[in-house]
Amino acid sequence: MKKISILFLVLTSLILGSCTKNFEDMNTDKKNPSKVDAAFLFSNAEKELMDQISSTNVNLNVWKLFSQYWTETTYTDEANYDIVNRTIPDNTFRTYYVYVLKPLEEAKALVGKQELVGAETEVTRQNKIDIINILEIYVYHNLVNIFGDVPYTEAVSTEFPNPKYDDAATIYADLLDRLDTISNHLVANDMSFGGADIFYGGDVAAWKKFANSLRLKIAINLADVDDATAKSNVEAAVTAGVFTSGADNALFTYLGNTPNTNPLYEDLVLSGRKDFVPANTIMDLMESLSDPRMDYYFQDKIDGEWAPGIYGASNAYSNSSHINDAIQTANFPGILMTYSEVEFYIAEAAARGYNVGQTAEEAYKAAVTASFDFWGVPGAADYLESVPYDANNWKESIGNQAYIAFYTRGFVAYNEYRRLDFPVMNVAPDAVTGGPVPTRFTYPINEQTLNADSYYDAAAAIGGDDLLTKLFWDKY
């Protein structure tokens, strides 16, 4: 019997599970309608995406470890880059494709055929479709940056039980083209999802800024391998309008009650576990710079001194400094993108000679200041006097400060480290790589067995399914 991709099996089960017979009105439960609304699917996809990004459950998300923000206390497998034991790639693949992308595709199909309500117009319908597409693009961008070649043109469709893996560079090009089109499509003075949109409350103008900022984010990744494409897209994105203040931040509002709390609260507080402490990589860097954000990121000095955990080693929780309580609160926001992040990309673009309306130094200062503002830390101007932008070593200057600013956002920091090669990471003592930080995830084990032809084609195309195989944009 021909083997079928695990994604196909899961997607099929979800579809069959959602099918209902056409009962007469008298047999229909009005409080639990069988028809799922597109807005509900969209909201749920937003939450699934943000939960995956925010979580520190090592079965789902190890990026705070790979970025060396945190390290483990007793069980150190993941800090030493073992992602096979807990089938982390499989879980990541499943979450993105089944629990985020599939609902978004279903929402898009429903939007296309649902009747307009109240003051909605055909422009409203198109706005909704464009916003769904923006979120899909964000997800595919993440998937490429995690694995390399991934299913794209044949993904999340029961027509393709064994989806092919598309070339990562080709996916990138299509994502950029789609964002260009979407930015021109969106009509800011019309409506979209309203309150069902947890990120922006249906504010189309905000989504347009997010789309342009995402285009900037994707394009700057190409700078070392395709400078012309990177430059044209970066400049076009900035011209079209990216984030210009913290008011533009894409944040997910978590609530104080389960199951709507930040996953960090569930993982670190409700669990009662003491599995993580801040790592020496970030704490040593910040301490060397006398960075005042340390008091907002961490807590509990030992004998008056910060006591970071040694990355990759066993660390006694009671003998270490800890993650700040503020980060562990139930309603700590999920962070999809920030103004600080955008300014760091602009700073890099300016350093590369792109026309982005600011000098690299101006954008660097704006990025650091925005980070201070986000965390409510005073003294940004004084700090910048002591840690000025260094044009001769711009990768180090931007890389180190972006790393500090992106704290808690492990995957974003890991992505920047792969591109800029800063900060200097510590060597995990028992790393399965032999020492280096991995440059990608290996493909899911289930794909190797259930979608073997596509898997082997993809593995060969990227140069081998190995933790140290570099992605197409990771030139140095």
Number of domains in the chain: 1
187: in domain: yes
Query: What CA–CA distance (Å, rounded) separates 113 from 460?
Result: 41
Q: What is the pLDDT of residue 9?
A: 41
Query: What CA–CA distance (Å, rounded) separates 355 from 376?
Result: 31
**Confidence label for 25 from pLDDT (cuts 50, 70 and 90):** very low
157: in domain: yes
Residue with token string 């704006």: 366
Q: What share of the chain has pLDDT > 70, as a percent?
A: 93
Per residue in 279-316, pLDDT (tens digit) is 999 999 999 999 999 999 999 999 999 999 999 999 99
Per residue in 381-402, pLDDT (tens digit) is 999 999 999 999 999 999 999 9
State the maximum Cα–Cα separation within the chain, in Å, rounded to a whole number: 75
29 has a pLDDT exceeding 90: no
Report pTM: 0.93
305: in domain: no
Residue with token string 């609902």: 103
213: in domain: yes
Do residues 197 and 46 make contact, with C-beta atoms less than 8 angstroms apart? yes
Mean pLDDT of the chain: 93
417 has a pLDDT exceeding 80: yes
Cα angle, residue 285 at apex, residues 280 and 290 outer, rounded to 5°: 120
Per residue in 418-450, pLDDT (tens digit) is 999 999 999 999 999 999 999 999 999 999 999
10 has a pLDDT exceeding 50: no
291/19: higher pLDDT = 291
Question: Which of 6-15, 28-37, 100-109, 129-138 is predicted least confidently?
Answer: 6-15
Q: Is 81 exposed, middle or buried (0-12, 13-18, 19+ CB in 10 A)?
A: buried
183: in domain: yes
25: in domain: no
If you average pLDDT over residues 18-44, what whole number do you get? 58
396: in domain: yes
Q: Is 349 exposed, middle or buried (0-12, 13-18, 19+ CB in 10 A)?
A: buried
283: in domain: no
Per residue in 155-187, pLDDT (tens digit) is 999 899 999 999 999 999 999 999 999 999 999
20 has a pLDDT exceeding 80: no
Residue-wise burial string across 452-471, b where 16 or more C-beta atoms lie within 10 A, e elsewhere: eebbeebbeebeebebebeb
Q: Which of 22-31, 108-117, 363-372 has the highest mean pLDDT?
A: 363-372
Q: What is the pLDDT of residue 4?
A: 43
**Confidence label for 2 from pLDDT (cuts 50, 70 and 90):** very low
Query: Which domain, by its residues, includes 164?
Result: 37-258+332-462
**Confidence label for 36 from pLDDT (cuts 50, 70 and 90):** confident
Residue 389: give its domain's CATH number. 1.25.40.390
Residue with token string 């003592």: 429
Query: What CA–CA distance (Å, rounded) separates 344 from 365?
Result: 9
Per residue in 191-240, pLDDT (tens digit) is 999 999 999 999 999 999 999 999 999 999 999 999 999 999 999 999 99
Query: What CA–CA distance (Å, rounded) separates 16 from 20?
Result: 9
Query: What CA–CA distance (Å, rounded) separates 441 from 87?
Result: 11
Which tokens is 20 given? 């209902």
Per residue in 349-382, pLDDT (tens digit) is 999 999 999 999 999 999 999 999 999 999 999 9
